[in-house]
Amino acid sequence: MNSTNFEKYNFKPFIIEAVTKLGFSEPTEIQERLIPIIEKGESAIGQSQTGTGKTHAYILPIIEKINPNLNEVQAVITAPTRELANQIYQEILKVIEHADEAEKYTARSFIGGTDKLRAIEKLKNQPQIVVGTPGRINDLVKENALHVHKAGILVIDEADLMLDMGFIQDVDQFAGRMPEKLQMLVFSATIPEKLKPFMKKYMENPKYVQIDPKKATAENIEHMLMPARHRNKVSLVHSALIAFNPYLAIVFTNTKKKADEVADGLIAQGAKVGRIHGDLTPRERKRVMKQVKDLEYQYIVATDLAARGIDIEGVSHVINYELPSDLDFYIHRVGRTARAGYSGIALTVYESSDEDALNRLEKMGISFKNVDLTNGELIEISERNKRKKRQKKENEVDVKAKSMVKKPQKVKPGYKKKMQADLDKLKKRAHRIEKRKK
């Protein structure tokens, strides 16, 4: 068996075997810092951007702590979306399948949109690890079907998104039934003020681990800007997609309505498009995710649900049809590409009203390449602020002209009109001189 740097954590041999099979040799920064804390049984808050390896930072030490001889719920892991819950569950299965047959490790996933009675039926035997969405877990706890009163570990993944979606109340209800000495692990890209009272209620002196991105986004993402210039944006995005010919591209919109509009527009132009947003039924979302996995689509149109809640492999290009109002979501969106050491391209189609947001993104350390389409090809163009700079230069002529027009000592009637006429004459002359120089 290949050696791996995870051996230093004294994990059981089957966990090391699984880690090796998954291709992990070096722990990521968040894993390096969190695994020892979780192993000690301490509560922790992990703040990091997407793609830092946080899922394995908690599932590996949790599996290590599970007693395979106890057929009761020992850990509860919650996620805001069905897809994310399912992904976490699948990662747990990939690890526990390596366990010795004599040691029985059990995990179950419980998510909304599935048959509740069937879930209750399955709970005749309580699993050791429960993964799911807060609403469904809370329902099963209230029905006395899922017994969490002995589970000593609670994980809340994507806590800020959970707060936005109104799920913290559900978590609060079943967390209140869990042991008093609860090890709570909260993971979040941001720590909103409204989340703090909830954390304070359940966490005593938690360890706080913040992984500051060395850059706002991964280094191997190329950020591009393309001006909309009153052109049809759907056609523009379609042409950009044709020019890119991506392995897999996600086009992000801010609303479900806009996602459908863009998807329908791209389909009308002959593109095969998948769509992911909150209005799809669980069955439809499952089908789309399977089609994406089977590479049936080259393009996906999605809302920000896919930026945070869903891990889609092989995304080579991200296109922002519109900029998100919360610029943190720009980071989450573009974080879908350039994962696992690959490079990626993030293109934003912008309007003149986006100027302020673009300036703020630049202040966050993102540097953009300015591009446009010419005969179906993406070409580099001059920076978007060049025009402003040029206007400033021309305005220097106006300033000079103004300085040459003297304000009369005594103000006579109609002096403003006379001054304006003198000023216009001088400006015309100055502009003529400037033109000759050129």
pLDDT, one tens digit per residue, over 268-277 is 999 999 998 8
pLDDT, one tens digit per residue, over 302-361 is 988 766 666 788 899 999 999 987 777 888 888 888 776 678 999 999 998 898 889 888
pLDDT, one tens digit per residue, over 35-80 is 999 999 999 999 876 667 889 999 999 999 999 999 999 999 999 8
Q: What is the mean pLDDT of residues 417-428?
A: 70
Dist. CA 328–CA 322, nearest whole Å? 14
Looking up tokens 């800007």, which residue turns up? 225
User: Residue 361 is encoded by which pair of tokens?
Assistant: 């993104």
Tell me the helix, strand and coil percentages in the chain, rounded to 5: 45, 15, 40
Q: Is the pLDDT of residue 410 over 90?
A: no
pLDDT, one tens digit per residue, over 180-233 is 999 999 998 778 888 899 999 999 889 999 887 555 556 789 999 999 998 999
DSSP one-letter string for 357-399? HHHHHHHTT--EEEEEEETTEEEE---TTHHHHHHHHHHHHHH
Taking residue 190's Cβ as centre, other Cβ atoms within 10 Å add up to 13
Q: Is the pLDDT of residue 1 over 70?
A: no
Q: Is the pLDDT of residue 407 over 70?
A: no
Q: Are 29 and 51 in contact (CB under 8 A)?
A: no
pLDDT at 392: 45
Residues 6+ apart with CB under 8 A from 17: 1, 98
pLDDT at 394: 46
Identify the three-state secondary structure at position 319: strand
Q: CA 113, 249, 301: angle at the middle one, nearest 5?
A: 45
pLDDT at 103: 85
Q: Are 192 and 45 in contact (CB under 8 A)?
A: no
Q: Is the pLDDT of residue 5 over 70?
A: yes
Q: What is the mean pLDDT of residues 375-394?
A: 69
pLDDT interval class at 246 (50, 70, 90): very high
Q: Is the pLDDT of residue 172 over 60?
A: yes
* Alpha carbon 135 to chain centroid, angstroms: 22
β 377-380/368-374 pair status? antiparallel
pLDDT at 336: 83
Domains in the chain, ordered, with CATH? Answer: 5-210 (3.40.50.300), 221-380 (3.40.50.300), 397-437 (no CATH)
Q: What is the pTM of this model?
A: 0.62
